[in-house]
Amino acid sequence: MRASNVRHGTPNGAIRENGRIKRVPMAYDVREIPFSCGPRMAMTIPWGDVATAWRTTGIPNIRVYNATSPRMIARLKRLARLLPLLRFRPLRRLLQRLANRRTGPPEQVRAAARMYLWGRAARRDGSEVTMTMETPEGYAFTVLSAVRAVERVLEGGVATGSLTPSRAFGAGFVRGVGGVVVGGRIPQWLIDKAPVKLENGVSVVQALLDERHESER
C-alpha cells in the first residue's frame, strides 16, 4: 500500500478500463512478470501511469503492477477486509502519522540499486508485444530525469501545457537519461495506434518501446 494512499484515505487499487479509471480492490490482479532480472510475482497498484499512459498512448485498458512477494500479496488481501475501519477518523490519522515517518533508501542504496520494468501491449486478436527497461534506482532516476527535463526546457522548443514527459520532450526522452537500458521492439499496429506523432513522423509508442540498439551502443 502506498503511503500517499493512506494519507489521502484511499487505500484501494485502480486500473483503466474502457478509457475510464476504475476503482478496484488492492491486489486486484496478480501475475508473474518476466523482468529482465528474472521472473517475479506482481500485483496491480494504483500508480500514476494508470492516468498518464492513457494520455500518452490512448490505450483504453491499462494496468500497472508492482513486484511483490506472494506472502505480502496474501497479507494485503487479508488486510483488505479491514479497510472499512479506515472510515474511523482517529485510526486513519494514526496510520497517516506512521506513513509520514517513512523515508527513502540510504545514499549507498540509491547509488547501487537498479529498477527493472516490463511492459506489454496487446490487441483483441491476440497479437502482443512486450519490452523491458532497466534504470537507476527509483529515487535516483527521478533526480536524473528531472534534471534532464530542465535541460531540455532550457534548450527551447518544448511544447507548453499539461503534458507527459514523452509528449513534452519526445518519446525517446527516457533513453537520454543516464543508466537507462531499453529492450524490445514493437509491431506496426501499435505504432499506428499512437495518437501523438513526433516531428520526424515516429509515434510516441514506437519511441517509448523501440530502438533497443540505441541503448546498447
| Higher pLDDT, residue 188 or 151 | 151
Strongest mean pLDDT among 25-29, 77-81, 142-146: 142-146
Domain end position, chosen among 39, 73, 100: 100
Q: Tell me the three state secondary structure of residue 87.
A: helix
Is residue 87 domain-shared with residue 138, that is, in the same domain? no
Domains of the chain: total: 2
Question: Is 85 in the same domain as 163?
Answer: no
pLDDT at 89 over 90: no
What does the pLDDT look like over 166-176, one tens digit per residue?
889 987 899 89
Whether 88 and 162 share a structural domain: no
Are 78 and 39 found together in one domain?
Answer: yes
Considering the domain architecture, whether residues 71 and 92 belong to the same structural domain is answered as yes
Residues 43 and 129 in one domain: no
Residues 6+ apart with CB under 8 A from 112: 137
Q: Are the C-beta atoms of 176 and 141 separated by less than 8 Å? A: no
Contacts of 186 (CB under 8 A, 6+ apart): 121, 129, 131, 205, 206, 209, 210
Which of 77, 100, 123 is the last residue in one of the domains? Answer: 100
Query: Does residue 127 share a domain with residue 80?
Result: no
Do 60 and 76 share a domain, yes or no?
yes
Q: Which domain holds residue 163?
A: 107-216
Q: Name the band, by pLDDT with cuts 50, 70 and 90, for residue 117.
A: very high
Interval 10-43: pLDDT, tens: 457 899 999 999 999 888 999 999 998 889 999 9
Boundary (domain end) residue, out of 100, 133, 154: 100
Rounded to 5°, the CA angle 57-5-27 comes to 70
pTM for the full model?
0.74
159 and 74 co-located in one domain = no
